[in-house]
Chain A
Amino acid sequence: KAGVTQTPRYLIKTRGQQVTLSCSPISGHRSVSWYQQTPGQGLQFLFEYFSETQRNKGNFPGRFSGRQFSNSRSEMNVSTLELGDSALYLCASSLGPDSYGYTFGSGTRLTVV
């Protein structure tokens, strides 16, 4: 079966712009989580969605937002981009928020110049 699909794979944006990243979970998975990975901070949790509702949020500024659609696909948006937002953004899906196995996508590499 198809894995978690993240688009685009690579993105270059300018400071001050906004960006939208997309994540399509595994078919049947209803929970989607987002993570940011940087060399300095490692993997950090952004937020988790289940049934179109945000269930959990990490310690990130309000410039980072997300949403989930009725087909479980999710998007995350970063507004007013800063150089420090350059990172690998990873999406993970699971059957539900209490599931024990998360399947990660390969990520979107965002570079802010």
Chain B
Amino acid sequence: DAKTTQPNSMESNEEEPVHLPCNHSTISGTDYIHWYRQLPSQGPEYVIHGLTSNVNNRMASLAIAEDRKSSTLILHRATLRDAAVYYCILKYGGSQGNLIFGKGTKLSVKP
């Protein structure tokens, strides 16, 4: 399975944008890039996913490098509720559907 590399932790100030990086240099053409986050004492929560083009939804934006070897999750205005562990996951676009979680990035948001 292709692997992802994320910083262990990041800090942000409330109401400022946050850019969470992810490297996936061994990504294959059929791998989708998924982001999940896990708030304290909860199960992971789907954030966003993409294949080649940048994606936006109500929670975040996903910027994918042209060579697809890296991506960045963008939270436009961090709130205290965004403090969580963020996981960048490559998911094979075929029938093998399980998610392979890495260590993720623990995001702290300061008021």
Contact = CB atoms under 8 A, between A and B. Distances in A.
B95 A45 contact: no
Contacts of A43: 44, 87, 99, 101
Interface of A: 4, 31, 33, 35, 42-45, 48, 55-56, 58, 90, 92, 94, 97-107
B44 A106 contact: no
Interface string B43-71: 11110010000000000000000000000
A43 B98 CA distance: 12
Given A42-B104, A55-B97, A92-B44, 15 more contacts: A33-B98, A35-B99, A42-B102, A43-B101, A45-B100, A48-B98, A56-B96, A90-B43, A94-B97, A98-B93, A98-B94, A100-B32, A100-B49, A104-B43, A104-B45
Interface of B: 32, 34, 36, 41-46, 49, 87, 91, 93-104
Contacts of B49: 100-101
A84 B33 CA distance: 32
Contacts of A98: 93-95, 97
Contacts of B44: 43, 90, 92, 102, 104
A41 to B, nearest CB: 10
